Structure 1
Amino acid sequence: MLLQTNSCSSFSLKYHPLKHAGSFKTFQTPLTQINGLVNRSESNKYSIRCSIQNSLYLTNNKIRNNEDMMERNHKPLKKSTVPMALQDGYPSKSQDENIVSTSFVDVLTKKLDAFYRLCRPYAWTSIILGIVSTSLLPVETLADLTPTFLIEVLKAIVATLTMNIFVRAINQLSDIEIDKVNKPNLPLASGDFSIGEGIAIAIISTLTSLAMGVMLRSPPLVIALVIRWIVGAAYSIDLPLLRWKASPLMAVVAIIILNGINVLPYFVHFQKYVLGRHLVFTKPLLFSVIFMGIFSVVLAFLKDIPDVEGDKEFGIRTLPMILGKERVFSISISMLLLAYGGAALAGVSSPFLLCKLVTMIGHSVLGFILWCKAQAVDLSNTKSTYSFFIFIFQLYYAEFFLMHFVR
């Protein structure tokens, strides 16, 4: 009998009666290919001897037995094809799921990192400290610091931070090309966020912030949020009478409004709508508005020094471009030193010894540290000027603590 195999994973047998009893026939498995693996079994030949006494026909049972035997013999061959199948680009279902899962996690991580860079959390620190410090100005006794009061402070912080996301988003949407030169790590400049995603973030943050302000039923807080929205948009958007950042004067006005004058609505919110007291403008409040206003002007001057190259390329006229880096830097340091001197003198008039000492010594020490740091700044080095700008922000944070000792 002649046995033949087809080129597939299981063998089918064909048989023919032999004309001569006792003759020998051989059969050879032809070349087979399974999932890209070639099997050449030339050395395996099978001989079958047929005699007169044996039946010339195989029963179905024998055929099935032979097929089972061949399947068992070829099990190692099937196992060896698994890695070949994976190499040919056919991963298993579990591998597909792992790839999709990993890809989703990577995309989500990248977007969260881009959102973090869009918000620029160092600005969040000033907002949080500013609101907490302003909320403490109308506090008269420790009994005022109730859980309800603290929750109201938290609500005001969240609403303001949400509006600040709009300010950051609209600023980056307006400065994509400039940021590619000055700040290439920002998400819209680096392409981590598309323009559509930036617009969506700006709209969602605006609506969320205003909705929170309305729910708190505090007109001063809503006014503070609307002021932040208007000034933030006017500062960045390139439309007639807007784009205040392109004008040295209007850029200073915008910074003063956001960081100085905008303290007043928050003070009114906490004094009248949270603590339920009559509106009274205190000495610490007036001092903080004046001192923070001066600090805001200095921040507006210094922030443009590291960005001179990009601003010059895109025709934005900032004060460092008009007067020069050295002169603007000198003016800024002089203004801060004068502000620290005035704060120290304000402490002399305080009737409380502790307040007098903290105000005088604290502002004098900070003024001295400022003068020492200014001597080491290299204005030709962007990294050095930016590092000094961050240091000025740290002085700004310290003032939120010191201003409460002005009595």
Structure 2
Amino acid sequence: MKYLNLIRYPNLLLIALMQLVVYYGFLNFQNIPLVLQPWQYFLLILATVCITAGGYIINDIFDQEADAINKPEKKIVGTSITESQAYNLYVGFTLTGVGIGFYLSRLIEHPNFVIVFILCSASLYLYATSWKGILLVKNIIVSLLLAFSILIIGLFVLFPAITPYNKPQLLTAFSVLFDFSIIAFVINFLRELVKDLEDVKGDYNQGIQTLPIVLGINRTAKIVCGLTFIPIGMLLYYTYVNLFELLYATLYILLAIIGPLLYFSIKMAWASQKKEFKHLSQVLRLVIFLGILAIGVIGLNMYYYATQQV
């Protein structure tokens, strides 16, 4: 169990679920050519999960001092797992992810695409070793990597299949993935800020510059509250422009995503304690999970709407 906790298995399951929902709940219903077969797509998921797991491990290695303050009961590296073992696991997961990425890149006849996996691995290493000390950079990097775990599907499953005849269909499908990657970036960026609020004491002792340390907890909480209306506005606009005819998808987004975001913004406006920030971080994790399912809801609703029009 200690090894599963080290690689943050709930987060890895969330990423795997997201990529499965995109493939089986959205792309499979679009009547478009998909380059990767299901077993090959599972390799893409495995590569993504391995690289992400490596990122969590290297982060824990360099976060031992802060973790001893912020969450001593959850500290793994240096307690139940030695630093040497953690380094070995980091190298193993990272090389496995990059190796699978190299195989898939050659499989789709775009060997240069392996640079995607190398850059992601390098970014996670730099994040853990140096970037996290730069104000807001760590929040942006982590959120970008989550967004890219959606875009990479289009890169490996849709892009190699584009021809002059199917280009409009494939670009439409890719645009949906792109839109959701932007929304995922914004929501996860908010969650990273909330985690900074939760971990302010340990970050301060480790010399990490975060928004709560620079501006203070109360002011940062108010900023996060205000920023919450950005994804709410984006979702309302996107739903009105693209999904208004899809009743079930529209209702789902309003109730399952926008509703919790409004709850989050109200609670954040008055939050000041660590336990409150921990709760609000879990609310945003739920929103991300429900947002993942929204891709499948949209795919199913589009499919049934199309069949009714025939």
TM, length-normalised to structure 2: 0.80
8 Å Cα contact 1:138-1:267 kept in structure 2 = no
2:155 to 260, 263, 268: 268
Higher relative contact order (CA 8 A, sep 6+): 2
CA distance in 1, matches of 2:71, 2:240: 44
Structure 1 unaligned segments of length 5 or more: list them.
Answer: 1-112, 238-242
Cα deviation 1:188-234 (Å, max 9, x = unaligned): 14x11111111111111121112222222254763332232011111
8 Å Cα contact 1:345-1:360 kept in structure 2 = no
8 Å Cα contact 2:232-2:261 kept in structure 1 = no
Give the match's secondary structure for 2:207: coil
8 Å Cα contact 1:138-1:270 kept in structure 2 = no
CA distance in 2, matches of 1:262, 1:220: 18
Q: Report the equivalent of 2:171.
A: 281
8 Å Cα contact 1:306-1:385 kept in structure 2 = yes
Q: Report the equivalent of 2:118.
A: 226
CA distance in 2, matches of 1:166, 1:157: 14
Structure 2 unaligned segments of length 5 or more: list them.
Answer: 303-310
CA shift for structure 1 position 138:
4.4
* 1:372 maps to 2:263: yes
* 1:122 maps to 2:14: no
Q: Residue 132 and residue 117 in structure 1: after superposition, are their counterparts in 2 closer, same or farther (change >3 A)?
A: same
CA shift for structure 1 position 144:
6.4
CA distance in 2, matches of 1:324, 1:162: 36
* 1:306 maps to 2:198: yes
CA shift for structure 1 position 262:
4.8
* 1:151 maps to 2:39: yes
| TM alignment of 1:177-256, pairs within 5 A | 177-184=65-72, 185-189=74-78, 191-216=79-104, 217=106, 218=108, 219=111, 222-237=114-129, 243-256=130-143
CA distance in 1, matches of 2:70, 2:6: 15
- Please tell me whether Structure 1 or Structure 2 has the larger radius of gyration of its CA atoms: 1
CA distance in 2, matches of 1:385, 1:308: 11
Q: Residue 133 and residue 331 in structure 1: after superposition, are their counterparts in 2 closer, same or farther (change >3 A)?
A: farther
* 1:361 maps to 2:243: no
Query: Which segment drifts farther, 209-218 or 160-169?
Result: 209-218
CA distance in 1, matches of 2:157, 2:149: 13
CA distance in 2, matches of 1:351, 1:232: 35
Cα deviation 1:41-84 (Å, max 9, x = unaligned): xxxxxxxxxxxxxxxxxxxxxxxxxxxxxxxxxxxxxxxxxxxx
Name whichever structure is richer in helix by fraction: 2
Which portions of structure 1, spanning 4 or more consecutive aligned residues, are displaced by more than 6 angstroms?
Answer: 142-146
Q: Report the equivalent of 1:168.
A: 56
1:340 to 211, 227, 232: 232
CA distance in 2, matches of 1:142, 1:114: 43
For 2:75, give the aligned amino acid: L
Cα deviation 1:62-110 (Å, max 9, x = unaligned): xxxxxxxxxxxxxxxxxxxxxxxxxxxxxxxxxxxxxxxxxxxxxxxxx
Q: Residue 369 and residue 168 in structure 1: after superposition, are their counterparts in 2 closer, same or farther (change >3 A)?
A: closer
CA shift for structure 1 position 126:
2.9
2:188 to 296, 309, 316: 296
8 Å Cα contact 1:220-1:265 kept in structure 2 = no
The percent identity for this pair of structures is: 19
Report the number of matched residues: 284
8 Å Cα contact 1:220-1:269 kept in structure 2 = no
Q: Residue 130 and residue 221 in structure 1: after superposition, are their counterparts in 2 closer, same or farther (change >3 A)?
A: farther
CA RMSD of aligned residues (A): 2.8
8 Å Cα contact 1:221-1:266 kept in structure 2 = no
